[in-house]
A and B are shown apart, each in its own frame.
Chain A
Amino acid sequence: MTAGKPSPLAGTLAVQPAAAEAVADTHASVLAAIGWAVARDFRVALRSKGELGVQLLFYVIVVSLFPLATSPSRETLATLGPGVLWTSALLASLLSLPRLFASDYHDGTLEQIALSSRPLAALVSGKMAAHWLTSGLPVALMAPLLGAQYALEGPVLATLAVSLLLGTPILSLLGAVGAALTLGARGGGTLLALLVLPLYAPVLIFGAGAVDAVRAGVSAAPHLSLLGAGLLVALVGVPFAVAAAVRIALD
């Protein structure tokens, strides 16, 4: 498995003396668990850089196909651009979801993680954060470059990047629920698409809507505020749903 820092999976059943200390201890333990999971999954992901590269390349290729299928005229491309860049981001996120739990599930690591004394919701939060760092973040950073190919300019490209930075974490969070629920299921990948893509619809609407708003000369603030609100709600609620789903998969 992983080397380096002491793992919280090792015995942490320390006796907790006073209540106040116990609460402080719990907070520290939650943060430590998140930090450990982020660092561990990030390290594991970086060991297969090829896979990460392929996922980013997938995004680039899908985005590049649309002009071939429609027309190279600047007006058409500028109209299609926000939708294409966002829909492709959804597909790229979907493609990278199995990586989140599948290999840990197959080699038994996930079971060990679930057996840990640290809260499972915190540990899966760390995994989701690492997933976003290695899938959503690169896509969000790459998007303005591809947006320039779609005749999008200055403030529109900036809005595209901001909307993706706010929206892709929601994709990683919602996708994690689907990824955990489909562990060990028949037809994993296609099933995952059926479960997750309908749930992505509001993110797509507000994300692409923000970019469209700026293109139309209107403020993107309402769309971005809604994306931000969605992110906060997902951050609070989803880790518990994912923890429940992981426990169900391990039963």
Chain B
Amino acid sequence: MLINWFRFASPISFYPIAGSWSYAFGALAALFAGAGLVIALWIAPTDATQGDAYRIIFIHVPTAWMAMFIYLVMAGWSALALGFNTRLSAMMAQALAPTGALMAALALWTGAFWGRPTWGTYWAWDARMTSTLILLFLYLGVIALRAALEDPRRADRACAVLALVGAVNVPIIYFSVQWWNTLHQGSSISLTAAPKMAMTMLAGILVMTAAAWSYTIAVVLARVQAIIVERERGAGWLESLIQFPAGGSA
């Protein structure tokens, strides 16, 4: 079956879909998070060496994965926005940035809380921590550039170029930091040498990852709706869907 994907590139046809999908994925997120937390807090066994402190892994690992993955998705939408000059692609990229930054911040924060009891320190300039920190800076840069440009269409394209330049740099930053770390300090701290984990632990992480995915999709679609309303206010099709407050629209 041939689908005309460009039909959905129009805010008019995407707006209602985004609304219903947002609710659906929101419900999925609640479902996965509930199940995941039950596994994480009650079913998964206590770790032999780290005790119960390890349980933050169920938030830490999914958010760290999402932080990296969302940047790639954002760069993908940015490439589409530049290539096809579609407004909606740029709006998707714009909507993804805050959630990506949130995930990176959560990964760092939970990592610090996990590091304190297990490594004895909140922060250790570990290669992954450092590259996640730089990733957070890249997200904040995209958000700040967006906020600093008056014209939304120019901001769309400028942020797209920045996201793509960043995406090329992300692997370089990752490997350079890793190499720097191995040169500067011995392997006193290693995440990769963790012992094999129990099946229930892995299941917990995967279910929580599904929750993080669903949450991201739900929030991003809701944010895209908000962006569409903000940018298209005054458009006839939108006024038939939403009751704007008197004098609110141009």
Residues of A participating in the B interface, judged by any CB pair closer than 8 Å: 174, 177-178, 181-182, 184-188, 191, 194-195, 197-199, 201-202, 205-206, 209, 212-213, 226, 230, 237, 241, 244-245, 248-249, 251
Contacts and interface: CB of A to CB of B under 8 A. Distances in A.
Contact of B148 (A174, A187, A212): A187
B235 interface: no
Nearest to B183: A209
Contacts of B183: 209, 212-213
Given A174-B165, A198-B141, 4 more contacts: A178-B162, A181-B145, A195-B162, A249-B158
Contact of B173 (A188, A202, A226, A237): A202
A115 B148 CA distance: 26
A191 B144 contact: yes
A191 B145 contact: yes
Interface string B149-167: 1100110011001101110
Most chain B Cβ neighbours within 10 Å, of A194, A197, A230:
A194
B179 interface: yes
10 contacts: A174-B165, A177-B165, A181-B158, A182-B145, A194-B137, A194-B141, A202-B172, A248-B154, A248-B161, A251-B154
B79 to A, nearest CB: 12
Contacts of B157: 248, 251
Contacts of B144: 191, 194-195
Contact of A201 (B134, B153, B158, B168): B134
B176 A206 contact: yes
A6 B147 CA distance: 41
The B contact surface, by secondary structure, is helix
A181 B161 contact: yes
Contacts of B177: 201-202, 205
A57 to B, nearest CB: 28
A205 B134 CA distance: 13
A185 B172 contact: no
B176 A198 contact: no
What band does the interface of chain B fall in when counting residues whose beta carbon is under 8 Å from A?
20 to 34
A205 B161 contact: no
A195 B146 CA distance: 11
Nearest to B179: A205
B187 interface: no
Contact of A198 (B134, B145, B147, B161): B134
Contacts of B141: 194-195, 198
B169 A186 contact: no
Contacts of B158: 181, 245, 248-249
Contacts of B149: 184-186
B117 to A, nearest CB: 29
Nearest to A199: B169
Interface string B41-74: 0000000000000000000000000000000000
6 A-B pairs with the lowest CB-CB distances in the bound complex, closest first: A202-B176, A185-B148, A198-B137, A195-B141, A205-B180, A186-B148
Contact of A241 (B145, B165, B180): B165
A209 B180 contact: yes
Nearest to B137: A198
A226 B179 CA distance: 12
Contacts of A174: 165
Interface centre among A202, A230, A249, A251 (most CB of B within 10 A): A202
Contacts of A185: 145, 148-149
B154 A249 contact: yes
Contacts of A209: 179-180, 183
A217 B154 CA distance: 50
A170 to B, nearest CB: 11
Interface string B115-154: 0000000000000000000100110110011011110011
B169 A241 contact: no
> Which of A182, A199, A206, A237 gathers the greatest number of chain B CB atoms within 10 Å?
A199
Nearest to A213: B183
Given A187-B148, A205-B177, A209-B180, A241 B161 contact: yes
A202 B154 contact: no
B105 to A, nearest CB: 15
A251 B157 CA distance: 10
